[in-house]
Structure 1
Amino acid sequence: MPFALMGEELLGIGVLEVARSKGWSFVNASLLSALIFGLLHVIAYWNGDIISTVLHVLLLQAVARLIFNFIYLKTGRSIIGSWTIHLLVDGIGFYLYVLTQ
């Protein structure tokens, strides 16, 4: 799981930084990063209905990406900061899932 989440961080922050290098503001670049990050989760969260699946990934994964991007910025552009929080969030979710099974 840690390696997969680092890949997600590299992708999300990569999109953010490429957009910023093209002159986009942090807010707009972060929104683009979140949109792409969320939409890449459609297959993983597919429930048979495109509208509810897209709403799900945009409301959960995209919003999470916005938070991770903010943490990345606040930790001095450290991918370790956003990766650590991403790992904690997913780890807590996985732990809660295991507890309910």
Structure 2
Amino acid sequence: MPQTWYVTFEVHKRGTLPKRRSPRETRTFESEAEARAFAREKFSEGLIVFAGTLNPFLPRRLIPSSDIPSWIEQDRGEEVGGHDDKRDPEK
């Protein structure tokens, strides 16, 4: 499965470096669920996080840092609601 999602997060400064590095790092993921889980982890560390889909994946999505809290909570709501409905055949 191709990498379709990315999560970019700020990197903590660690001492002085001989050459300047980017203050951000990006990781790619095969699914939105994997990207969300990773973003949740970095966000809980207090880091600034952005996420989105990679080109040419459609539909294109960009989740700015201001929307990350609600985006990572969507996953928890879907897990709880989705699993309960599947376990109870009467729902």
Q: Please indicate the TM-score interval, normalised by the length of the shorter structure.
A: 0.3 to 0.5
TM-score norm. by structure 2 comes to 0.34
- Considering fraction of residues, name the structure with more helix: 1
TM-score, normalised via structure 1 length: 0.32
Higher-strand-fraction structure: 2
